[in-house]
Amino acid sequence: MTTRRKFLAGAATVPAAGLAAPAIAQSKITWRMQTYAGAALAEHVVQGMVDNFNKIAGDEMEIELYYADQLVPTGELFRAMQRGTIDAVQSDDDSMASPTEVTVFGGYFPFASRYSLDVPVLFNQYGLNEIWDEEYSKVGVKHISAGAWDPCHFATKDPIRSLADLQGKRVFTFPTAGRFLAQFGVVPVTLPWEDIEVAVQTGELDGIAWSGITEDYTVGWADVTNYFLTNNISGAWAGSFFANMDRWNELPEHLQTLFRACCDQSHYYRQYWYWGGEARLRVHGEKMELTTIPDAEWAQVEAAAREFWDEIAAESETKAKVVEIFKQYNADMEKAGRPYRYNS
């Protein structure tokens, strides 16, 4: 027989019906992401991606967005992300000084692309995604998604109508673009992104080779420069979304999928925002006068870019592999003809 004492002792270990122990509330995942872009530009190149992600992720996860140099200088973004100080980054490889074999190809690698659509095709159909994934995995960073931005043009205070006009011009540009342009007399200058407009006004800079005309108008550079050179050294800036590898691996699969989907939407928006903006502002913009270096003279720059490619390829096996992909891709586009390439 069960005694009263034993019965009461047993009953104390059984939860009353309808009074199950409450579930422990799952804490919300919070990521800090810093972009290379200042506030005005970030509105177009990343803010929509973050807003969409946060709206859909709801109570599960939130991304806190920081603009250029807010948490760390752009040149220190990679190290901060690698350490986990920042969870995710939107930048090109070159600007954030990634310690990889593919860093030199981020941003504006001279004449690697003619149009913005070249960039996603190179990554998704010609093998760059796999190379980038391998290189970043070696250093504890997840390369999530690459996309195209605007072409690289000069915006200057004085007109550029020949290669001789580039001599001695102090220009804010990307590391690799600056290394290439130095042979034409350009003096590359590195400054914080937010200081560029004032540096042009004070004469510290003669111009900018960091964007297309859409950004010149969007961020205020068209207000302090007078001329826009229609020749460009690259058809599209190549940038990416990155994350600390541990933080990425901790995310459940559905949040990884959502992050990728929001990146893809961001890439799509930028495709038409830049493509339409570049044409519209050339035609209807009133702040900058268009100038052009004649094709025959500009051909010297294009020829120099091919030599530059070979110099880079000689530096390592991985770089040689990437350069070979660029060569194959551009050869395919030339053979494909119009509208992929317009041959004379």
Please tell me the distance from the alpha carbon of residue 108 to that of residue 105, in angstroms, as a whole number. Answer: 7
Residue tagged 């870019």 (tokens): 305
Sequence-ordered list of residues with C-beta below 8 angstroms from that of 310, at least 6 positions apart, any chain: 323
Higher pLDDT, 226 or 22: 226
Please tell me the distance from the alpha carbon of residue 263 to that of residue 147, in angstroms, as a whole number. Answer: 9
pLDDT at 15: 45
Q: How many CB atoms lie within 10 A of CB 59?
A: 9
Distance of CA 300 to the CA centre of its chain: 28
**What does the pLDDT look like over 99-145, one tens digit per residue?**
999 999 999 999 999 999 999 999 999 999 999 999 999 999 999 99
**What does the pLDDT look like over 191-201, one tens digit per residue?**
988 899 999 99
Q: Using alpha carbons only, give the angle 305, 91, 330 rounded to the nearest 5 degrees.
A: 30
Query: How do the domains of the chain map onto residue ranges?
Result: 30-149+237-284, 153-234+286-335
Are 41 and 69 contacting, i.e. CB atoms less than 8 angstroms apart? no
Fold of 30-149+237-284: D-Maltodextrin-Binding Protein; domain 2 (3.40.190)
**What does the pLDDT look like over 64-109, one tens digit per residue?**
999 999 999 999 999 999 999 999 999 999 999 999 999 999 999 9
- In the chain, % helix, strand, coil (3-state, to 5) comes to 50, 15, 35
Peptide bond into 339 cis (omega under 30): yes
What is the b/e burial string over 305-321, where b = at least 16 CB atoms within 10 angstroms of the residue's CB? beebbeebbeeeeebbe
Please tell me the distance from the alpha carbon of residue 132 to that of residue 118, in angstroms, as a whole number. Answer: 16
**What does the pLDDT look like over 325-341, one tens digit per residue?**
999 999 999 999 999 99
- Would you tell me which CATH number, out of the four given (3.40.190.170, 3.40.640.10, 3.40.470.10, 3.30.390.10), belongs to the domain 153-234+286-335? 3.40.190.170
In terms of Cβ atoms closer than 10 Å to its own Cβ (0-12, 13-18, 19+), residue 259 is buried
**pTM assigned to the model:** 0.89
Residue type, 274: Y
Same fold, 30-149+237-284 and 153-234+286-335: yes
State the DSSP string of 152-196.
Answer: BEEEESS---SGGGGTT-EEEE-HHHHHHHGGGT-EEE---GGGH
Q: How many CB atoms lie within 10 A of CB 170?
A: 15
